[in-house]
Structure 1
Amino acid sequence: MPEGHVIHRLAGELTRTFGNAELEVTSPQGRFAAEAEIINGHHIAVSEAFGKHLFVEFDAEHPEHILYIHLGLIGTLQFEPAAETRGQIRLHLSDGEVAANLRGPQWCRLITETERTQAIGKLGADPIRDDADPEPIRMKVQRSGRSIGSLLMDQKLFAGVGNIYRAETLFRMGISPFTPGRDITTAQFRSIWADLVGLMKEGVVAGRIDTVRPEHTPEAMGREPRKDDHGGEVYTYRRTGQACFLCGTPIKEQVMEGRNLFWCPSCQP
């Protein structure tokens, strides 16, 4: 599932690509045809992300004028030539030259202002958003007996954080993913939050997740670049059994609440 930086990047790309253009909005697959007709011929007023949720507001004079997309595990929103018709396209947004084609989302809906407010109200603080307030999240974390590795994946707390950022931030802070939230100090929480803010905002710009510090890049260490479908240079994510860049201990992996967890047992005791 795409992490929050991907959705923020898509929101920005929709705005940059289409600007004030009146868009052709269709549903080649047919499953969104009635809703597409409502916003067809209108332009995007606001495109923004909250965590892994994308909201695209149109200037249509209709109660349900906000496009609400969640990509889920297999969904994609790709910018392609306007004539592209490959695959099952749920939603096609086009200015005649470029199209944003949505395939396989968990959901794609038209909603009202009230429904958007309700959806956002269910989410936690998004490290990428400048208006995020982490203090209520800190208090919830420090009252919890759940592990910090579990808490970081809870979208009602850390909106947009996924498996990669969870693993990498905890490694960078030297915190065991099994530490109960109630044992996380205020200083540790604020360090986690600041690290997430920095890494995730960099991810929006770069379009990929890089978490290694300058002294641990392939060039600095004289090692081969990482070869992985997810791209990016990381410390622990999907490096099971490989040597930790800091201490040489093999990276460990186990399932935590249905998701693979990666950590260094020496650097994160």
Structure 2
Amino acid sequence: MVADGKGGTHAVSPPKYPPGRFLTPILGTAAETGLDRPSLGLDRLGFLEVAVSRSSQHRGFLEFESINAAGTEWIDAAGTGSIEAAAGPSRSARGPVGRGWLSLAPVPEGHTIHRLAARHAELFAGDKLHAASPQGRFAEGAARLSGTVLEGTEAYGKHLLHHYAGELTLHVHLGLYGKFTDGPAEPPEPVGQVRLRLASDRDWLDLRGPTACELLTPPEVAALRDRLGPDPLRADADPERAYARIARSPTPLAALLLDQSVVAGTGLIFVTEALFRAGLPPTMPGRQLTRTGWDALWGDLVGLMRLAVEQGRIDTVRDTHLPEAMGRPARVDRHGGEVYVYRRPGAPCHVCGTEVSRGELAGRNLYWCRTCQAG
């Protein structure tokens, strides 16, 4: 269940994956996945942009008739997160690829963590779990978890919490490179650097490459919540607390909204797009935002993030600016979804035709329309 932004909750449906382009981790050997990894240049654990044809979905996993390996980014086998580009022409492979080995890997903004919390509760809530750390880096924590019952899961911003019997809480922050995979029946032999493996009699779950994987006491969980701003996807979110920070700050509005102590769960896509939809320049000082403007901006973030939880991707354009309404090509991008300005520098604004601008703020790219967001 996730917050509906109005004090209630709603159920999350399993994601549906139609044919299209996605970013997906490659986690198995050639024998396990049906992929000829050397011919694809897949000699290490990595992430592959795939063009999917005639895909089917089962419990969150894909089977492919074919994939197209174009533009690969890698995480090294040690899970430290170094990246290099894989050069060379596109290559193809035919499967089917083994079920449970290729799963979609969206950029982990807050909606992704809420989807994961719902997924993990669906898999394991009420079950006594076996826990292990094949990599060894979480061996002590896994030993404490093993044999305990998962009572529930929770997402707060970009933080995932598993609550176990005996006041044990597992805290996971995926960071940029952390990934979960899961599957039915007996778990396979570990592939790559598996920080944590959880298993019940029916399902298994692996975690690789997180920024944080740790056990917290109840006071530590409370301290974590206290240092985070309100999460637009939670029923207990208090937008007043965020506005109190924003209204007195000279910091640019985009930087404030990306600060997890101000608003939790918002990443660059949500912030960039919500500011465009509100007609607000990203560099506007926070203290210039009116209370009416904040109420509208918060409400839009709630709506956009709820939609992303439901759909499994971030769509921000209004109906009048969809490709079919405007007669324009659909967006092709590894993040998926239709957007106004995010990663569209130099392209015409869907509303006014002005070229989308790109700048930098605190080491991060910003995108905006100088006409629609004149302030």
Per the normalisation by structure 1, the TM-score is 0.96
Question: How is 1:219-238 mapped onto 2 (pairs within 5 angstroms)?
Answer: 219-238=324-343
Counterpart selection for 1:24 from 109, 115, 130? 130
Cα distance between partner residues in 2 of 1:93 and 1:167: 36
Cα-to-partner distance string for 1:102-132 (whole Å, 9 max, x where unaligned): 1100010011011000011000010010110
Counterpart selection for 1:118 from 220, 223, 234? 223
Cα-to-partner distance string for 1:121-169 (whole Å, 9 max, x where unaligned): 0000100101101112112111111111111101000101110001000
Q: Give yes or no for the alignment of 1:37 onto 2:143.
A: yes
Indicate the structure (1 or 2) with the bigger Cα radius of gyration. Answer: 2
Q: Give yes or no for the alignment of 1:157 onto 2:262.
A: yes
Identity, in percent, stands at 46
Cα distance between partner residues in 2 of 1:105 and 1:84: 20
Per-residue deviation at 1:98? 2.4
Cα-to-partner distance string for 1:228-256 (whole Å, 9 max, x where unaligned): 11111111111111111001111111111
Cα distance between partner residues in 2 of 1:93 and 1:227: 35
Structure with a larger share of its residues in helix: 1
Q: Tell me what 2:160 maps to.
A: 54
Per-residue deviation at 1:86? 2.1
Q: Tell me what 2:212 maps to.
A: 107
Do 2:317 and 2:338's aligned partners in 1 also have CA atoms closer than 8 Å?
yes
Do 1:92 and 1:101's aligned partners in 2 also have CA atoms closer than 8 Å?
yes
Task: Name whichever of 91-100 and 153-162 sits farther off.
Answer: 91-100
Per-residue deviation at 1:79? 2.1
Cα-to-partner distance string for 1:5-58 (whole Å, 9 max, x where unaligned): 011110011001223222121111111111101111222112001101111111
Change over 3 Å in CA distance of 1:235–1:84 after alignment to 2: farther
Cα-to-partner distance string for 1:56-81 (whole Å, 9 max, x where unaligned): 1111x3x6x11000001111122235
Do 1:124 and 1:156's aligned partners in 2 also have CA atoms closer than 8 Å?
yes
Do 1:24 and 1:96's aligned partners in 2 also have CA atoms closer than 8 Å?
no
Cα distance between partner residues in 1 of 2:310 and 2:205: 19
Counterpart selection for 2:174 from 71, 78, 92? 71
Cα distance between partner residues in 2 of 1:123 and 1:184: 21
Q: Tell me what 2:275 maps to.
A: 170
Paired residue type of 1:138: Y
Do 2:125 and 2:152's aligned partners in 1 also have CA atoms closer than 8 Å?
no
Q: Tell me what 2:191 maps to.
A: 86
Cα distance between partner residues in 2 of 1:84 and 1:199: 39
Cα-to-partner distance string for 1:178-208 (whole Å, 9 max, x where unaligned): 1111111111111110000011111111111
Q: Tell me what 1:133 maps to.
A: 238
Q: What's the secondary structure of 1:152's corresponding residue?
A: helix
Paired residue type of 1:15: A
Q: Tell me what 1:242 maps to.
A: 347
Q: Give yes or no for the alignment of 1:204 onto 2:309.
A: yes
Per-residue deviation at 1:260? 0.8
Structure with a larger share of its residues in strand: 2
Cα distance between partner residues in 2 of 1:242 and 1:99: 44
Q: Tell me what 2:372 maps to.
A: 267
Q: What's the secondary structure of 2:303's corresponding residue?
A: helix
Q: What's the secondary structure of 2:294's corresponding residue?
A: helix
Paired residue type of 1:129: R
Do 1:123 and 1:155's aligned partners in 2 also have CA atoms closer than 8 Å?
yes
Task: Name whichever of 189-198 and 218-227 sits farther off.
Answer: 218-227
Per the normalisation by structure 2, the TM-score is 0.69
Q: Tell me what 2:300 maps to.
A: 195
Per-residue deviation at 1:220? 1.5
Paired residue type of 2:368: W
Question: Runs of 5+ in structure 1 lacking a partner?
Answer: none
Q: What's the secondary structure of 1:10's corresponding residue?
A: helix
